[in-house]
Structure formats: C-alpha cells, structure tokens
Chains A and B, each alone.
Chain A
Amino acid sequence: MSGPSLMDSLFQRTLEDIIKGLRHQLIGEQAFISKALEEIRKEIKSTDLSTKSTALLKLSYLSSLHFHDMSFASFHALEVLSSPRFSHKKIAYHAISLSFHDSTPVLLLITNHLRKDLSSTNEFEILSAVVGVFCELASKDPRSYLPLAPEFYKILVDSKNNWVLIKVLKIFAKLAPLEPRLAKRVVEPICDHMRRTGAKSLLFECVRTVVTSLSDYDSAVRLAVGKVREFLVDEDPNLKYLGLQALSIVASKHLWAVSENKEIVIKSLSDADPNIKIESLRLVMAMVSEDNVPEISRVLVNYAIKSDPEFCNEILGSILSTCSRNVYEIIVDFDWYVSLLGEMSRIPHCQKGEEIENQLIDIGMRVKDVRPELARVSRDLLIDPALLGNPFLHRVLSASAWASGEYVEFSRNPLELMEALLQPRTSLLPPSIRAIYIQSAFKVLAFCLRTYLMLRGTAASSTCPDNLPSGVSASMSYESFDDLSVENGGDVTVTHGQPSTSASITDESIGNLFNLVELTLGPLLGSHDVEVEERARNVVGFVDMTKLGLLNASAQEEKDIEGKGVEASKTIKLMCDAFTKELGPVSISAQGKVPLPDGLELKENLGDLEMICGDIEQPSSNSVSFGSSYEEKVDVSFSNLQIKEDSEQSNESTSLLAEHRKRHGLYYLSTGQSETISNDYPPANDPMSQGNINDNADDLVKLAEDSLIPKKKLNHVKPRPVVVKLDEMDEKPFATKKCDPKDDSLSGAVWDILLGSEDMVPTSSRSNLSDKPSNKIKGKEKQRTEPHLESKENLVEDGNSSSRRRKHRSHGKERRHKSPRKKNAEEGEDSVQKVKEKRSHRHGRHKSRQRADEPLNVTPQTPVIPDFLL
C-alpha cells in the first residue's frame, strides 16, 4: 500500500463531517464508524501533520464518545505533538490524555515535550492546584504534612477563595485528629467561617470538619448542629440530604443532635428522594435503643408494607441488622422479636428470607427461652399454604420447618404440624428445603409416636383412663421419659404444668398419621433428588418398623408389654433419643484447639482421591444453617443401623455424645439457660394500622415524641433472657453474629459483678441462672457463658434465689426446663446439685464438627478446663 496521496489529504473529512455523517446515519452507525476508522488508519500515517492531526482528532472523538480503541495511535500522537503549531499540539495533548496510561510504551517520550511546552498559569490556578494536590496527599498520609500546618492555617485565616478554603478545611480535617493543639487552634477560625460565610459549600465543609474531626469541642458542635438544622429545613433537597449525612456522622458521638432533629428526620422517611429516605432510615435506626426497639420496629414494619419494594427491603434489612447487632444486644423480649421476624416474612415485598432464616435458627439455638414462641411462629408460617408459593420465603420456611422439628416438644398440636410439613404444596419447594421438611416430619413423627406411647402407658397404669389429669400432658410425659433414658433414671421427677399438646393423640390419629406419611412420602421414594429420596426412605422405613407393632398392640389393648409392641416402642424411643439431644453451637475455632493425634496422616494420599472425586458433583448443601446434608444423612442411616441392634446399645450414640461433651466440654457452647419470664409484654402482633403513608409518617413523628427521647425505663417488665455467645470468635459462625470488643468488656464487667457479689455464687452457665433471674441487674444482664464454668460439677445455690424466682407456673405458656436441674432447684436451693449435661444427636449445623471430634473412649469430666475458648 502506498502512502496517502495528496488527494487523500485534500479530500479528508473533518471531525465535523464525521459528526454530521453520524447524525444522518445513512448507512447505520456501526458501518459508518468502521468506514471512518478505516479512513483514519490511512490518514494517520500521512506525513502531512495537518492530515495526521485531523485524523487524530477524529480518532479521539470516536474513542471518547463511541468507545473505540485508539491505543494503536499512541506513536502518531507523539508525532503530532512535535508539530510547531499550537493547534496540532493541542489535538495531540487531548489524544494523549484520553489514551495514555501507565503501561503505554511511548509514555517516557512525552516528558521532553512537556518540559518544552509547559507554560505558566495565573496565581489562583497555582494556589488552587497546589492546595488540591496537598489535600489528596494529606488524605493518604496526613502525618507527613503536619509541619505544613502553619501555612495552611494562614490560608484558612486569610484566603477569600471558597474553593481554596474548602481544600484547606479538608486538610485540617485530616490533621486535627493527629495533633490536639492544632485542633484547638483551628476550631475558632472554622467557627468564624461557619458564622460568616454565605456559601453553602464552605458552610457545609466547616460543618463536616467539625463533626468529623473536632467533635470534642462542644460549642463548635452545637454551632454546627444548628447549621445542620438550617440545612434540614431548607427547600433544596441537596442541602437536606447533606444535612442528614452530617447528622449521621455526628450521631455516633452526639446522639442528642439526632434526637433534637428527630421530627425532621422521621418525616424525611416519606420524602420523594430515595437518597433522603435511606439517609433518614439510617438515622432512625441510630436512635434505636433497648427501650424503643419494639415501637420503632412496629412503625417501620407498618411503613415498609406501604413502601415500594426497594425501600421496603431497605427498611427490613436495617431492622434485621440493627436488632441482631452484637448478638441481639438491644433485644430484651425475644418472643416479640421472633414474632416480628414471622411478621416480616409475610410482607409481600420481603426479600430478606435468607437473613430471617439465619436469625430464626440462630435465636433458636442461642436463646432457650424463646423456643416455645419460635415453635409457635414457625407453625403459623408452615401451616399457611399460600406462603409456599413465594420463592423469597422458602428460606424462612426452611428455618421454620427445622425449628418445628427441633422444638417439636413445644408444639401444641404435632399432628397438625405433620400435616403442614407434608402438605401437597411442599412440592413447590426446592429439593434441598423439601428434604428439611421431610427430616422435620421425621422428628415430629417420632415425637407423636412417643407421646402416644406415653399416653397409653399412663392410661394402662391408671385405673380409669378417662380421668387423665389434664396437667399431665403428652409433652410432660415425653419429657420425663426423656429424662429417664438420659439420666440413667437417677433424678427423674414428674414435672407439672408443662405446655400441653392440646390435641390428644388417639389410636385413630396415629393410624391416620401413618397413612399420611405413606401417602405423601411414598411417591418421593423414587425422587431424583438424593436428599429427598434418602429422607423419605428414612421416614417410611421408620413407619414400616413401628406401624405393625403399634397398631397390633393397640388392638390387643394392654398387651403391649410383650411382642412387637415392645420392639416398636424401643425403636421409637431410640429415634426420639436421637432427635432430642441438643448439640449447641460450637466455636468456629474449636477444631483448631484439638491437638492432632499422633500418627494421623491428613494429607497423604489424598491427591489420588481428588482425581477420583474430581468430576463428581458435590451434593448441594441445604442451607447455611443446616450443616452438611451429607452429615445429616450419615447420621440418620447410622441411627437406622442401630435400630437393628440390641436394645442395650440403643443409647450408645447418645451416651457417646454425652461422654464427649463431658470430656470436651470446652468445645461446646453451652446452650444457655432460661430465666423465668413473665408474660406481660405487650403483644407484638398488633393489627397493622391501615393509614396511608403520610399517616404513618405522622405515627412516626408521634412515636418520636413518645419514645425516641433518650430516657431510661427503670424497670424492665422482664429480664432479658440469656443469649448464648461465643465471645472469642472473630468469625461469625452464623451470618448474624457480630463481635464487638465493647460488648466483651461490658459482659466482662457484668460477670465481674456477678462473681464479686456475695450471694451470687458462680453457677454453671448452663444450669441455674434460669432459676434465679438476677433482678439486681435488671434487664441489662449480659450473661457471659463460660465454657469452663459449665463443666463444674458442683453447684451451690444460694437461698436467695428461690425467693427471687418468679412464679411462672401460673401462666398458661410455661417454659419447660429439661433435665433434673429444674426439679432440684424446686426441691431445695441449698442442696448441692449435680449438673449433668445432656447431649445427643441433633441434626444441627455442627454435626460435622461434632462427629469429627467424637472420641471413642470415655474419660471422666475434668473439673477445671482452661478458658482458652474465651
């Protein structure tokens, strides 16, 4: 190809021609551009600098606004730069600024030209640019620029240029925190600017400097907050937005500033501008405290229902994150919170299913007291067939199904629960969640059957079965039965007044139950999903094993002591044992504390395995919270295997676990203890108010008047239940967990008080705080659970505790306390109690870790275990 001829440059199209051509679009934009690029590639090789520069300009245009690569022209740009003509140079510099970057090969060649071409600019430009550059440098490494502070101070006092002043303020905002004396010097000039200036930009920069870097100077902060208020009431949405932003900066140190402006803040929730709405939501959440969290959440949830989907989820998200902060620090009434979670799930726009799922399970495991309410909330969610149609809720339903199975003993009607778990619309669930449903159905079924056995046993031993005392309920029987099996019959008592399963389980209902299971799970035996199929088989297998024995036995009336009935009841007992044991959360670092046994090779030869398994797809895990589904499956089949074995061995797995806990107690998180809770908290589920959005904003304002004033309620209606924490963890075991050193020190302080006071004997964290709500530390109590204390065998209870214990028996909704601790506490407070921890199978998320640690031999409990977990 010969070089471009004179004709080429004579008839070269200008940039204007290109732009016009593009606008006419006779041949389509893309085609036109490629044609133009083709021309440019030819023209840019021209020796004529005019032609070359015009080509370069056209190329710059196409690169800048039509995003075509121009890196091929970097050398041509340099050639144009060497032109003596100003107009050529200008084009070249423009092209270079567009296309050159650090790795452009000819970059070094520019510097020469630059040196030649540098011309001076006027004074303002220099000062402005220099200050601007310092501002950026200072933000990266402020300390090195402290020596220049006097110069900046001079500018701050003398300069009349707002742009320069803003930059200097930005520099001082970085420098002031480093040098208190400097802060003291600049605070007055900054306040002067704040008072005098008419420029909003400078005013805002002063405000921002004060609230970020000079927040210790009260008078300055007061002045700044006053200016913020002017911003907030301004018509201009920009000023309002920035005012709210300044408030959120100031909120962390001076919450009063937010409270003073709460009305405006809350009204801004209904602003047309999404920025302002989100900013004010953030501020509202900053005002939330232990005392007003129920009211604020109520109003916000009502408001969320009426908001657009995006803001609705924004609200829900901030409620969820605020309430779960520091392991639910601000939540006192967990019953309320759990029902709020249930309510939030039902909001049509709710897309926070995953977060709600995590919190439901997390709270269930951490807060023992809330389990009855959790079971109730879960049941309400499960029995509603409509919810199954909403994919966003599947995760919540998964948590509900798990909680219903895990805490089935709190269920008022397990039969109804079975129907809910096996309802036809569960086919809408993804297989992983459906598997959880089936597994939960398994647990509920086992519970129903055992309850049935217990009732029958009671009936058989009683002379007139119809006069069964109403207080002796199914779940009670279940409980004592459970204790019998676990505690080797040692300290069994019959506890009274447990929540009763309202629907009595009869022969007929058991028959129906079996039919239901076979009918619904039968078709799933051939499911393509491994999890679903496996679990369905487990349940159906269990039914097969127990059905004949149970039904025959009932037909023969009281002859169930012999024959198949015995076998069936053993099987049921075994399964219930397997399901009732709790595995608490395990510290995420626990595995690391286990010393590596000698001779254990972990890495060798695994390379081969990887090749084998490489192309096998990993089974999808059910959900974050349920641990590895594989593990769960193993566990079930493990249990099934055991069923076939002698009944002597039936408790082997549970006792193994119990022993394991004894031995490695420190790796377990104690699952907490319950405190007595009176039931006089206002119901959380008030019917939603049906106003329009503005009404709601008014509600919010009213609420602000009532409850956002930082006031301290002197008496909490009820003490905060214990929330189990793993304080030492820096990683969250569950999605919601956040650790704050502040909280550590707080709980540490509370613990010190507990230890220090004479009548508070250190107790097993797992056992007896439940029986003595420490009213001394009302509401505020943050019981730190100490694994090393938990293992202490002897527990002395002081006499005072009994008098402080609340009469919670009178309430219909009772808390059940497993294990003989309860009984002992009632019988005599001074007695030395033996606390035994019970542990067993649970299809919880820590299964895998658990099994990995499980020892084969059993050693006595060590009296003191160092608290290196904390």
Chain B
Amino acid sequence: MIKAVMVMNTQGKPRLAKFYEYLPPEKQQELIRSVFAVLCSRAENVSNFIQAESIFGPDSRLVYKHFATLYFVLVFDSSENELAVLDLIQVFVETLDKCFKNVCELDIVFNYSKIHTILDEIIFGGQVLETSSTEVMKAVEEISKLEAASNSITLIPKSASGWRNR
C-alpha cells in the first residue's frame, strides 16, 4: 500500500502531507524533515529512489520527483511497483496541471481542499484507485459541482473575505 504522500518545496516547507496510517503530527513533521534532509543532498539526474527503511521502518520504499520548486514524494511498501508509483506521481502532477492550467507552487498553497480532493481520487486509504488523469479530472469536476450546489443554498455570505471580494 501507499504509506504517505508528501509534497514539499525546495526549502523543506511541506505543501501537502497525507499519511495513510495514523501518525501523530509531531511524528509526521519529523518524517518530513528527515526526508527533506536526504532529498536536498541529492544531485540532479540521479535515480528517484531513496533508501527509506532508516526513516520509515522496514518494508518501506520511497520514490520522489522534483518539479520546479517542489518535491513530490511517495512512500510505499513492497506490494507496490516502484516504476508504477513513479508513474503515479506523474499522473498526480499531470492532473494538477490540468486543474490549474500550468500548476505552480502557489496553486498548491492556496488550494488545500482541492489538492486533497484530487489526491483522494487517485489514492484512497493507501490503495491506488485511478491511474488515468482524465478520469480523475472528471471525478474532481463532479465533486466541485456537488460542492457548489450544496453551497449555493447558503444565503448569508460565508465569510468576511467574501464580502471584501465583492
């Protein structure tokens, strides 16, 4: 299964963290830090694997991809295929790219809920559900519609920022 998905920027700031086995927040922070410590020491154009067992315990593997200012990291166990998981990162990033039209770090910073929605369509409970970005896009759009519909019933403006933006 997939154990964790992390997105962090090249300064080590976490932008997305999803652990499929419960870990207390402090532990999550520690893990992200140790992963970043290894990531930032690696050169470009080397393999996308990191020895993960020292960080995540036995039967852990880690692949990552570096896009612009972001590292996308997936941690998983021996029941996943390394190359397939690398492809999965690609699918995730492609989907983000389609959703945000040339995705950049800021899109991920400001769209916390949407990123999680996308991720949940690809990986759920540590199992990979969908590997086609088109299918993921369809599902995400459907969910957005549902959300919008459920919100449109609201009469009172939801927030101060909503007021300001008018």
Q: A237 touches which one: B16, B26, B46, B149 (CB < 8 A)? A: B46
Whether the Cβ atoms of A86 and B159 lie closer than 8 Å is: no
Interface centre among B18, B112, B135 (most CB of A within 10 A): B112
Whether the Cβ atoms of B15 and A238 lie closer than 8 Å is: no
Whether the Cβ atoms of B46 and A10 lie closer than 8 Å is: no
Whether the Cβ atoms of A54 and B130 lie closer than 8 Å is: no
Q: A136 touches which one: B47, B79, B83 (CB < 8 A)? A: B79
Q: A68 touches which one: B25, B45, B50, B82 (CB < 8 A)? A: B25
Interface centre among A16, A19, A69 (most CB of B within 10 A): A16
Q: Is A11 an interface residue (CB 8 A)?
A: yes
Whether the Cβ atoms of B81 and A11 lie closer than 8 Å is: no
Whether the Cβ atoms of B47 and A241 lie closer than 8 Å is: yes
Q: Is A200 an interface residue (CB 8 A)?
A: yes
Q: B51 touches which one: A50, A69, A133, A275 (CB < 8 A)? A: A275
Given the interface pairs A14-B158, A17-B159, A102-B22, the reply to whether A57 lies near B113 with Cβ below 8 Å is yes
Q: Is A163 an interface residue (CB 8 A)?
A: yes
Q: How far is the CA of A163 from the CA of B122 in the complex (A)?
A: 13
| Residues in A neighbouring B143, C-beta threshold 8 A | 90
Q: How far is the CA of A407 from the CA of B85 in the complex (A)?
A: 59
Given the interface pairs A163-B128, A204-B83, A275-B49, the reply to whether A14 lies near B159 with Cβ below 8 Å is yes
**Per-position binary interface string of chain A over residues 271-286, scored 1 when its CB falls under 8 Å from any chain B CB and 0 otherwise:** 0111110000000000
- Report the minimum CB–CB distance from B76 to chain A (whole Å): 11
Whether the Cβ atoms of A17 and B161 lie closer than 8 Å is: yes
Given the interface pairs A67-B29, A201-B83, A275-B49, the reply to whether A88 lies near B150 with Cβ below 8 Å is yes
Given the interface pairs A238-B48, A238-B49, the reply to whether A201 lies near B161 with Cβ below 8 Å is no
Whether the Cβ atoms of B147 and A87 lie closer than 8 Å is: yes
**Per-position binary interface string of chain A over residues 45-83, scored 1 when its CB falls under 8 Å from any chain B CB and 0 otherwise:** 000001000100100010111011110000000000000
| Residues in B neighbouring A132, C-beta threshold 8 A | 1, 79, 127-128
Q: Is A240 an interface residue (CB 8 A)?
A: yes
Whether the Cβ atoms of A15 and B150 lie closer than 8 Å is: no
| Residues in B neighbouring A256, C-beta threshold 8 A | none
Whether the Cβ atoms of A238 and B128 lie closer than 8 Å is: no
Give B138's nearest chain A residue, CB to CB. A122
**Per-position binary interface string of chain B over residues 47-86, scored 1 when its CB falls under 8 Å from any chain A CB and 0 otherwise:** 1111100000000000000000000000000110111101
Q: Is A145 an interface residue (CB 8 A)?
A: no
- Report the minimum CB–CB distance from B153 to chain A (whole Å): 8
Q: State which size class the interface on B falls in.
A: 35 or more
Q: How far is the CA of A806 from the CA of B93 in the complex (A)?
A: 73
Q: How far is the CA of A86 from the CA of B142 in the complex (A)?
A: 12
Whether the Cβ atoms of B45 and A272 lie closer than 8 Å is: yes
Q: How far is the CA of A11 from the CA of B25 in the complex (A)?
A: 29
Whether the Cβ atoms of A128 and B25 lie closer than 8 Å is: no
- Report the minimum CB–CB distance from A454 to chain B (whole Å): 58
Give B130's nearest chain A residue, CB to CB. A125
| Residues in A neighbouring B10, C-beta threshold 8 A | none
Quick one: which of A135-160 are within 8 Å of B by CB? 135-136, 139
Q: How far is the CA of A240 from the CA of B46 in the complex (A)?
A: 10
Q: How far is the CA of A124 from the CA of B134 in the complex (A)?
A: 14
Interface of A is mostly: helix
Give A205's nearest chain B residue, CB to CB. B81
Whether the Cβ atoms of A54 and B159 lie closer than 8 Å is: yes
Given the interface pairs A65-B14, A69-B25, A102-B22, the reply to whether A19 lies near B109 with Cβ below 8 Å is yes
| Residues in A neighbouring B26, C-beta threshold 8 A | 67
| Residues in B neighbouring A514, C-beta threshold 8 A | none
Whether the Cβ atoms of A63 and B25 lie closer than 8 Å is: yes
- Report the minimum CB–CB distance from A4 to chain B (whole Å): 14
- Report the minimum CB–CB distance from A198 to chain B (whole Å): 12
Q: How far is the CA of A162 from the CA of B84 in the complex (A)?
A: 9
| Residues in B neighbouring A240, C-beta threshold 8 A | 47
- Report the minimum CB–CB distance from B46 to chain A (whole Å): 4
Q: Is B146 an interface residue (CB 8 A)?
A: yes
Whether the Cβ atoms of B1 and A13 lie closer than 8 Å is: no
| Residues in B neighbouring A201, C-beta threshold 8 A | 81-84, 86-87
Q: Is A227 an interface residue (CB 8 A)?
A: no
Q: Is A242 an interface residue (CB 8 A)?
A: yes
Q: Is B116 an interface residue (CB 8 A)?
A: yes
Whether the Cβ atoms of B15 and A65 lie closer than 8 Å is: yes
**Per-position binary interface string of chain A over residues 491-515, scored 1 when its CB falls under 8 Å from any chain B CB and 0 otherwise:** 0000000000000000000000000
Whether the Cβ atoms of A11 and B160 lie closer than 8 Å is: yes
Give A20's nearest chain B residue, CB to CB. B110
Q: How far is the CA of A10 from the CA of B135 in the complex (A)?
A: 38
Whether the Cβ atoms of A87 and B22 lie closer than 8 Å is: no
Q: How far is the CA of A90 from the CA of B144 in the complex (A)?
A: 11
Given the interface pairs A54-B159, A272-B45, the reply to whether A67 lies near B83 with Cβ below 8 Å is no
Whether the Cβ atoms of B48 and A13 lie closer than 8 Å is: no
Q: Is B129 an interface residue (CB 8 A)?
A: yes
Whether the Cβ atoms of A204 and B82 lie closer than 8 Å is: yes
- Report the minimum CB–CB distance from A382 to chain B (whole Å): 37
Q: Is B34 an interface residue (CB 8 A)?
A: no
Q: A125 touches which one: B110, B129, B158 (CB < 8 A)? A: B129
Q: B128 touches which one: A50, A65, A128 (CB < 8 A)? A: A128
| Residues in B neighbouring A63, C-beta threshold 8 A | 25
Q: Is A94 an interface residue (CB 8 A)?
A: yes
| Residues in A neighbouring B116, C-beta threshold 8 A | 94
Quick one: which of A220-238 are within 8 Å of B by CB? 237-238
Given the interface pairs A272-B43, A273-B47, the reply to whether A65 lies near B84 with Cβ below 8 Å is no
Whether the Cβ atoms of A94 and B113 lie closer than 8 Å is: yes
| Residues in B neighbouring A136, C-beta threshold 8 A | 1, 79
Interface centre among A64, A88, A101, A133 (most CB of B within 10 A): A64
- Report the minimum CB–CB distance from B66 to chain A (whole Å): 13
**Per-position binary interface string of chain A over residues 95-130, scored 1 when its CB falls under 8 Å from any chain B CB and 0 otherwise:** 000011110000000000000000001101100110
The residues of B with any CB-CB pair to A shorter than 8 Å are: 1, 14-18, 22, 24-26, 28-29, 43, 45-51, 78-79, 81-84, 86-87, 109-110, 112-113, 116-117, 120, 124, 127-131, 135, 143, 146-147, 149-151, 153-154, 156-162
What 6 A-B pairs have minimum CB-CB distances, sorted nearest first? A101-B22, A201-B83, A273-B46, A237-B47, A67-B25, A201-B84
- Since A101-B22, A237-B48 are in contact, a sample of 17 more A-B pairs with Cβ atoms closer than 8 Å, ordered by chain A residue number, is A12-B160, A14-B161, A14-B162, A15-B112, A15-B113, A64-B18, A65-B17, A90-B147, A94-B113, A94-B120, A121-B129, A128-B127, A132-B1, A166-B81, A204-B81, A242-B82, A242-B83
28 contacts between A and B (CB under 8 A): A10-B157, A11-B159, A11-B160, A13-B159, A23-B109, A50-B154, A50-B158, A54-B158, A57-B112, A69-B25, A86-B147, A87-B147, A87-B150, A90-B113, A94-B113, A125-B130, A129-B124, A132-B1, A132-B128, A133-B127, A136-B79, A139-B78, A163-B128, A237-B45, A237-B48, A241-B49, A274-B46, A276-B46
